[in-house]
Structure 1
């Protein structure tokens, strides 16, 4: 098995180690980012939905930055939404703040029934700069 080149954002390594997963892995010119939620520094969910989505993007951007990327390098996005019929409009009203101009990355949206107390999760694949 090859060694995993793990990316940890500043100040959150203990949280990832506690939960036993890597926030992101560099491999073959790509960055594979685990699903990011709107968690506070202690791991608890932000209760307000729009604040939770903003915090999920801030957590995602922290990982991208740690790998030398920005959201402009993202090529594929998967979002998980609890009760999308109820929550999609509120979530989509926040996403444009972080998404950037076209061309946009590919997108897969998945409606789910449970996200460990969260309402929104985003995972991405990004192309590493200079590779």
Structure 2
């Protein structure tokens, strides 16, 4: 059995261990990042919806940074949104502040009914710089 090459962001390893999953795994030149939500350090949801999206991106960026990546290395994005008909435009507006310049990664938005008290979750796959040819 191959041992997973797990990446933990600084200061949050206990939270991931408590919940029994890895924040990200390196494999084949790519970084597969688990869904990131707008959780505070203790795991509780950020109450303000816009701040929750910002915190989700901050949590995502912490995982990417721990692996030597940045959002510019992201090639695939999946967004999970509770009640997207109501929240999509606002979430998309905040997300664009983190998105960066073109060319953009491909993206899929999925409407869901429940995210454990959160309104937004982002899951990505990133190319690890220097590990794979362009």
TM-score with structure 2 setting the length? 0.97
CA distance in 1, matches of 2:51, 2:9: 20
- What do residues 42-98 of structure 1 show as CA deviations (whole Å, max 9, x unaligned)? 000001110000000000000000000000000000000000000011101101110
CA distance in 2, matches of 1:33, 1:21: 11
Q: Which residue of 2 aligns with 1:60?
A: 60
Q: Which residue of 1 aligns with 2:90?
A: 90
Q: Which runs of 4+ in 1 moved over 6 A?
A: none
- RMSD of aligned Cα (Å): 0.4
Q: Which residue of 2 aligns with 1:3?
A: 3
The secondary structure found in structure 1 opposite 2:122 is: strand
- What do residues 82-117 of structure 1 show as CA deviations (whole Å, max 9, x unaligned)? 000000111011011100011100101100000000
The secondary structure found in structure 2 opposite 1:63 is: helix
CA distance in 1, matches of 2:109, 2:92: 12
Structure 1: 5+ residue stretches without partners: none
CA distance in 2, matches of 1:92, 1:109: 10
Q: Which residue of 1 aligns with 2:22?
A: 22
